[in-house]
Amino acid sequence: MKTPKRYLVPADFMADPSVHVWDGKIYIYPSHDWEPEDFVENDNGDHFNMKDYHVFSLNGDDPMTAEVIDHGKVLDVADIPWAGRQLWDCEVARKDGKYYMYFPLKDRNDIFRLGVAISDKPEGPFIPQPDPIKGSYSIDPAIYEEDGKYYMYFGGLWGGQLQRYKDNKALENAYLPEGKEDALPGRVVRLSEDMLGFAEDPRPVMILDEEGKPLTADNPYRFFEASWMHKYNGKYYLSYSTGDTHYLCYAIGDNPYGPFTYKGVIMTPVVGWTTHHSIVEFSGKWWLFHHDSVPSGGKTWLRSLKVCELKYNEDGTIQPIEGLDE
């Protein structure tokens, strides 16, 4: 049986949704796809042309039918002092009445850094800081808050440049593990009290198999990008994209740092190269926000936001969702 899904912004191409429930309302922070001016499709993602962010909110109790409100453009690459090119996915956290947008952006040396922009309202606009976060690298920031502490999960392979770093230092030559080598893990770091920096050195996010061994590089369910963290029945659920094998997967741990034990697939491959998601609870149900490339005719660089209900089994495992609707 197919899981009913809804396209949220059919008139424009939005992707990589970061979703939060604040004051009883869902807010969506996606990346914004544009048709490339100079098209070169490659593993570095040069065909993704993302140069601004919009914020959306849902007016209603059911994401499958709620009115979608576009609050307009809230940040543009032209506004960011240290900008080079390519604003990929973003994330927003709330603390003490302020909203902090975290975004990956290539600097003028074509190196991804993570920047911060601040607003007094969840719908923006967001004012960027003059410099990226010190010591930051790679892509796909996701924030999890617990007991007043904010944890950022980040990292992505290939175009996301994670393979260029080891122990938080840039490598002279990038290295991607192969075969039965341990897969390259994402990163987690606790944010500073002012939300503008790292309070510690980023740590690897280890995903283990049922025998307690790290997933290997040739495992189709190993981490690639798009970390997300949520908590369900006292357990920490790390979900992520497998990139070139095209799954959304999850692993479960006992604390925000992990390690996490691999548990299964959330969503099978969609139309398009990959997907990127958020999981939130709202109106007594759990929801999976994601994207695919059906409306653009399969163009992986022009993606569209979707939502569907996510369900759990009694043992806490997630019921897999078929990515294809036909």
Position 325 scores a pLDDT of 83
pLDDT grade, residue 185 (50/70/90)?
very high
- Predicted confidence band of residue 44 (pLDDT cuts 50, 70, 90): confident
State the pLDDT at residue 224.
98
| HEC string for the chain | CCCCEEECCCCCCEEEEEEEEECCEEEEEEEECECCCCCCCCCCCCCCECCEEEEEEEECCCCCCCEEEEEEEEEEHHHCCCCCEEECCCEEEEECCEEEEEEEEECCCCCEEEEEEEECCCCCCCEECCCCCCCCCCCCCEEEEECCEEEEEECCCHHHCHHHEECCEECCCCCCCCCCCECCCEEEEEECCCCCCECCCCEEECEECCCCCECECCCCCCCCEEEEEEEECCEEEEEEECHHHCCEEEEEECCCCCCEEEEEEEECCCCCCCCCCEEEEECCEEEEEEEECCCCCCCCCCCEEEEEEECECCCCCECCECCCCC
Catalytic residue annotation: 16, 225
Tell me how far apart the alpha carbons of residues 296 and 318 are, in angstroms, rounded to a whole number: 29
Per-residue pLDDT tens digits for 230-284: 999 999 999 999 999 999 999 999 999 999 999 999 999 999 988 899 999 999 9
> What is the predicted pLDDT for the residue at 37?
75
Averaged pLDDT of the chain: 96
Q: Among 271-275, 290-294, 302-306, 309-313, which is the least confidently predicted range? A: 271-275
Mean pLDDT of 78-87: 95
Counting residues of the chain whose pLDDT is more than 70, the rounded percentage is: 98
> What would the pLDDT profile of 124-174 be if each residue is shown by its tens digit?
999 999 999 999 999 999 999 999 999 999 999 999 999 999 999 999 999
317 and 324 Cβ atoms separated by less than 8 Å: no
Q: What is the pLDDT of residue 101?
A: 98
Q: Which domains does the chain have, with CATH numbers?
A: 5-310 (2.115.10.20)
Query: 39: pLDDT confidence band, cut at 50, 70 and 90?
Result: low
Return the pLDDT at 35.
81
pLDDT of residue 143: 98
Q: Residue 1: which pLDDT band, with cuts at 50, 70 and 90?
A: low
pLDDT, average across residues 27-36: 92
**What pLDDT band is residue 318 in, cutting at 50, 70 and 90?**
very high
Structural contact between residues 319 and 52, judged by C-beta atoms closer than 8 angstroms = no
